[in-house]
């Protein structure tokens, strides 16, 4: 995996995993659930805590990479091989907004 891939954010240089920016999906805050209390396996729980801590400590760097990536995506100037592995962010954003409107109406 290319260290400088524009759609990848390595968590602690990849030791704790990666964030695939190209596969991120929008979610209303009302739909988010903390999973940590449900995790029983001690090693997996430790990994999630370490990942979360790292991401919180490097939030600005991650958010800057996401913003840069989305700007490149929206301008359609990412390499084809990267565009081919991306979600359709515009469609996902549209559907997320539709869902939020329906939630409010209920």
**Span 57-88, pLDDT tens digits:** 999 999 999 999 999 999 999 999 999 999 99
The pTM for the full model equals: 0.85
Share of the chain above pLDDT 70, in %: 96
Is residue 15 included in any domain, yes or no?
yes
Is residue 100 included in any domain, yes or no?
yes
Cα–Cα distances in angstroms (integers) from residue 43 to residues 11, 50, 98, in the given order? 17, 11, 38
Domain that holds residue 74: 8-21+36-105
* Residue that wins the pLDDT comparison between 1 and 22: 22
Is residue 30 included in any domain, yes or no?
no
Is residue 16 included in any domain, yes or no?
yes
Q: Which residues lie closer than 8 Å to 19 by C-beta, 6 or more apart? A: 8, 9, 11, 55, 62
Is residue 83 included in any domain, yes or no?
yes
Is residue 74 included in any domain, yes or no?
yes
Question: Into how many domains does the chain fold?
Answer: 1
Is residue 12 included in any domain, yes or no?
yes
pLDDT of res. 3:
67
Whether residue 105 has pLDDT greater than 90: no
Is residue 81 included in any domain, yes or no?
yes
Q: How confident is the model over 82-100, as pLDDT tens digits?
A: 999 999 999 999 999 999 9
């Amino acid at each position: 995996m290319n260290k400088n891939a524009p759609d990848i954010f390595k968590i602690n240089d990849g030791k704790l995993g990666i964030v695939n920016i190209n596969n991120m999906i929008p979610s209303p805050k009302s739909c988010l659930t903390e999973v940590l209390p449900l995790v029983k396996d001690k090693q997996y729980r430790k990994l999630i805590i370490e990942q979360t801590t790292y991401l919180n400590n490097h939030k600005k760097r991650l958010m800057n990479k996401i913003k840069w990536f989305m700007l490149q995506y929206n301008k359609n100037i990412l390499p084809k091989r990267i565009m081919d592995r991306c979600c359709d962010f515009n469609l996902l954003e549209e559907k997320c907004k539709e869902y939020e409107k329906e939630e409010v109406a209920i």
